[in-house]
Each structure stands twice: as C-alpha cells, then as structure tokens.
Structure 1
Amino acid sequence: MKAHTRANRRRGFTLIELMVVVLIIAVLAALVVPKVQQNAETAKIGAAKSQIARLSSLLQQFRLDCDRFPTTEEGLNALVSQPSDATGWKGPYLDKVPVDPWQMDYQYLFPGTTADSFLLSTDGPDKQNGTDDDITNLDL
C-alpha cells in the first residue's frame, strides 16, 4: 500500500508547487503588461504624427491646385470630394477621411494661427481637447 502512495505522489505537482508557478507567472505579467501598453501608446502617438504630416501635405497640394485651403466647414472632406467652389481641384486626394489612432476625428481649422495657415490636430491618448498630449501640425 505504501508503494502505491509514493507512485501517486510522483505523478503530479503538489498544490504548493502549482501556486508558486502561478505566482511567478503573475509577477512576470505585472512587470511586462505595463511596458507593452506603454509601447503601444508610443506607437499610436507616432502614427498620429505621421497621419497629421501626410494630411498636411495633402492640404498643401489642395492649396496648390485650388489656390486656397479648405474652409473649416469643408474640413478634411474637401480632400475626398470636390467642394462646390473649388476650381482646379484634382482630387480625390484621399479615399476617405481617416480617424486618429484612438478612433476620434482629426480637427481641422482654417485659418489657423495665421491668416494663411491651418491647424490640424488630434486630442491624443486622453481624448480631451486642450491638454498636454494633444498633437498638432505645429508640433511637427
């Protein structure tokens, strides 16, 4: 009978051993997950900056073609479909207006900081306008 009990003990892990393994996995996850999330947020910020740079370039092309920037009301949709009074329009410059990496719309304002400039921005990770994490074409 004693030999049978020893054989059963050798076949599996004890509860203590399993708990130690689970604890080690939990500690490793607690260390790794925040780093992965931070890297993902950094990648989204980089993607937003790239999209703003690309949209800014397309807005400059619109200006070259139409001799003006889109109005605030026309917004980025002027890059997709021709505004009624945009002579010289050679678009579409985009298939569709993209959303930022946080699934929010980009904000377009004309005139921007000066009479002949525009402001293109996203509210950033916190999705709140006017905070430190906002990203604009002025930041590039």
Structure 2
Amino acid sequence: MKTTSSRRSTRRAAFTLLEMLVVLVILGLLVALVAPRVLSNVGTSKVQTTKTQIGLLEGAVNQFRLEVGRPPTADEGLQVLLAKPDGDDGEKWDGPYLERDSIPADGWGNAFEYDPGDRGRFVIRSLGADGRVGGEGEDADLDNRSL
C-alpha cells in the first residue's frame, strides 16, 4: 500500500484541455456581455466632456465680450482667449480667460470650431466622434446653441 500512496503524492495537479476550454468559453461570454455596456459608457462620457468644454469656452467668450466689447473675430478665433489681441482692443483685454495654456479639445481630441455669427451670436461647435458635419449618436454635432 505504501507504493499507492507515494504515487498519489508525486502526481502533479494540472488542468485538462477540456477544463481550459470551458474556462475560455465562460470568459468569452462574460466579455461579450460586459464589453458593450462599458464601451457605451465611454461614448457617453466623451459626449458629456464635450458639453462641459463647450460650456467652459462659452463662458470664456462671454467674459471676453464683456471686457472687450465684442466677441472674438473669425480670424482671432478662440486663441484670443489666451493671448492679447493686437490693436486698440488689446488695452481692454484682461485675460487670459481660461486657466490653461491651450484651448481644450472635445471629448474625441478634435479642435472646436468657432463662428462669430451675426449680431454677437457666436457658435462653438464640436463635429462629434466622426469629425464630420452631421451624424447621429456620438457622431452628432454639438454646439453651444443646442445645449
């Protein structure tokens, strides 16, 4: 009997191929169920980040407009929120109007578009995840007039 017990103690414990396949199938099913939920939350957070950045930029443009007496021109763009404009308006400028060294990007890393509009009704726009005009869902354009 000693021989039998010594064989059992030296036997190595290992997983069989079937056990490994079962574990892989279970992991695959878990990933398939959880991944879409996680990825949809990432998209939602990028949209929310973009809306927040638009609100921040809109506030900075409004502050610029109050102090300088006009919104930034198309040539100045949003950069004028960080650097004093040339000419007479530079004397009124009391910026920078953002607490950063650069203009923030939207949630997808793209630059915001700025349009001074007519009668001071400026637009700050993100073209969404696809970076093109139009679209639906995450690809939809976001701007300060539609928020």
With normalisation by structure 1, the TM-score equals 0.89
Q: Find 1:74's aligned residue among 64, 73, 76.
A: 76
Unpaired runs of 5+ residues, structure 1, are none
Between the aligned partners of 1:118 and 1:108, the Cα distance in structure 2 is 7
Aligned to 1:51: 53
- Root mean square deviation of aligned Cα: 2.0
For these two proteins, the number of residue pairs brought into alignment is 137
Q: Deviations over 1:49-78 (max 9, x none)?
A: 011011001100000000000001111001
Does 2:26 correspond to 1:28? no
Aligned to 1:61: 63
Aligned to 1:138: 145
Q: CA deviation at 1:131?
A: 2.5
Match of 2:78, SS state, is helix
Q: Find 1:99's aligned residue among 105, 124, 127.
A: 105
Between the aligned partners of 2:58 and 2:135, the Cα distance in structure 1 is 21
Does 2:133 correspond to 1:126? no
Unpaired runs of 5+ residues, structure 2, are none
Aligned to 1:42: 44
With normalisation by structure 2, the TM-score equals 0.85
Q: CA deviation at 1:6?
A: 9.9
Between the aligned partners of 1:137 and 1:116, the Cα distance in structure 2 is 13
Q: Deviations over 1:16-43 (max 9, x none)?
A: 0110001100110111112111101100
Does 2:25 correspond to 1:18? no
Q: CA deviation at 1:12?
A: 1.5
Percent of residue pairs bearing the same amino acid type: 36
Match of 1:138, SS state, is coil
Question: Structure 1: which 4+ aligned runs deviate by more than 4 Å?
Answer: none
Structure of higher CA gyration radius? 2
Between the aligned partners of 2:76 and 2:4, the Cα distance in structure 1 is 86
